[in-house]
Structure 1
Amino acid sequence: MDLHPKVIDLSLDRTERLLSKLGNPERRVPAVIHVAGTNGKGSTQSMIRAGLESDGHAVHAYTSPHLARFHERIRLAGELIREDDLIELLELCETTNAGEPITYFEITTCAAIQAFANTPADYTLMEVGLGGRVDTTNVFRKPELCVITPVSMDHTQFLGDTLAKIAFEKAGILKRNTFCVVGPQEEEALEVIEQQASKVGATLKIYGQHWHVWEENGRLMFQDENGLWDLPLPALIGAHQVQNAGAAIMALRMLGKSEDAAIDAMLNAEWPARLQHLKTGPLVDAAGSAELWLDGGHNAAAGDALSEALERLSPRPLHMVTGMLNTKDVTGYLKPLAKNAVTLHGVSIPEEINTLSAEETVAAAKSVGMDAHVADDVVAAIRTITAKDPNARILICGSLYLAGNVLRDNG
């Protein structure tokens, strides 16, 4: 397949051209819930999906990037897309595109939209790939609901070098006469989101103004103008998941769902590589009596959230195995984690052109005061750690691409 030469080229022109040639399937997709933000998009979406499915709804879902297999990106009425159906859709999109310039993400998103239009369901959850305003997913004229999770500094080479510029891109998903649930934001970001909502005629439901969420005595408390719900804490680990849960619950409220749906959203949501405890597989076997955890967070805000989550786990010496992309703020990510880790072992990400070398990751770790060492790969790092500390807690982290490799290698 001949693709547009740039891996990332933010524009809607090519996507809209192909969708038009396909007969505008985006106009036939079931009620769209469009989710943007820097951190927490996937977790929030997984909780919304769990709540809707528990309420008896068939739900499509689109996420990116995938971890182990591309099929993870497209969920049709609750099930991952079948191989034959995926191949057929991609061939249709390639033939219809007829050799015109297009990126990988654009053509695969068009295939997902075509699949969603072809398959009956009640809701469609669409996760923004990058930004929002000119992201390939931003082709729906009137979403049922929008959600903007916390905005922070990431992808600055594409979205801008200030929080205000990044928030402007995220707020580009807002549409006239639609509602948007807004998660916790820095004042600079919230100001921009409010300005854009006013400009296009969207109605915001903002954390701290229209809804509140907090943890109290091992429970999750959610309150809005309709009252207070006393709920179980989310199954997804970490204090930051309380805020993500609040956005998901508010979204379910806006869709008219019950407290039972919110309870199921908390208990049943699953999202791989978000502080995931690996319990079986070859890598777990290699770790022996050590604990093995996996996390795909990769920016400064994710480092803060991960550090806080680690402090809530039972005491155990933490050793990090870290690989990151050269497009990320490595020191910003590692700095809050320096106080948590006994050691860090840097690895490169296999088959990833934009990986930092293990040596570069180690240099960044040392610059924030970490005891850091180079490892040939994840398995070598695990063996080095467990040889010295058999009962370690080992956290493999720094990139969703590294996480995907780990999940594939671990079966």
Structure 2
Amino acid sequence: MSAISSDTVIGNARIVLADRVIECGWIAFADGRVAEIAEGRAPGAHIDAAGDLFMPGLVELHTDHLEAHYVPRPKVFWDPTAAVISYDGQLATSGITTVLDSLRVWREDGAEDVDGRAGILAAAITAAREASLLRADHFLHLRCEIPMPDVVAEASELVARPDVRLMSLMDHTPGQRQFRDEAKLRDYYRGKGAGMTDAELDVLFARRFAYQRTYAADNMRAIVALAHQHDIPLASHDDTTDENVADAVRDRVSVAEFPTTMEAARGLHRAGIDILMGAPNVVRGGSHSGNIAAVDLAREGLLDILSSDYVPSSLLMGALQLPERVPAIDLASAVRTVTKTPAEAVGLADRGEIAPGKRADLIRVHVAGGIPVVRSVWREGQRVA
């Protein structure tokens, strides 16, 4: 060991690096950064990891799970700062040390209670951060539903915040993209909260068709221009056709979230756009909407990033299951989909891998009966879980 003064030394660990796995090694970190990594027995006093996995803290680009803490029941709104703190604790104990909180930047009467609350939740995240109440490092992902009348005005209110790291271009008009089968969208809304009747859904869908005809084209141009003006990476959403891919290329999209077909995924890959899929899709063995399976994309070399979407613990589970489902993917490659690649996609080059000089965002993981358990979490060298 060199003369570097280390605050913490972990030994007897299986360490996942960006390109390989050290089967038995040690890691030292000081002043919030990784200081040294080596194979073999740790010199001097150290924490014995007992052969557990040591990985970079997970980086999450798309999770709307905050909504479940803020609106835990239909028409029940929790204190927004308390909701953020509860949600943050769940993220940290799932191994997530960097998160882009996905906020709905639109209002739609009669759809979901959480619509139009992006400003409230963004303010709550700021309040919790400034009070040093958060375990993970929080940024914002503005989810922009392009056909909605007020989406440009609402995005404009938030886009200048320094914590905005991603904006996504979404269009959930029935009959296209994720919900090409309109019946799937009806099933989705019937299962939300108290559910919606077919008559209510007829009204909702008719309004959405009208909104798309009236606003979508102009709003798309305005949101894309807003993102480029503020140097914020763009994500497309639920790309399905070659036309969707062409739009993503035209708009200089960096990340494609949840493409629904192999055709679209291949086109996005050829264009050099990172493909993000849901970790629940991996864990469940397929899409809950009946679209393409993430594992099928992985077998084709078309999967770059995993997201926990609506189940925080799925991010770690999905990454560790990838090598089992796709033998061509080794553990280091699988872990990159939830660490290094998503970090780089949104310009966070200081984290996402265990390497000297990188942030000491680290997690200790024990696997029992095929289920990963996060035993310890460090953010910038400080134990947070």
TM-score, with length taken from structure 1: 0.28
Structure number with greater CO (CA < 8 Å, separation at least 6) is 2
TM-score by length of 2: 0.30
More strand by share: 2
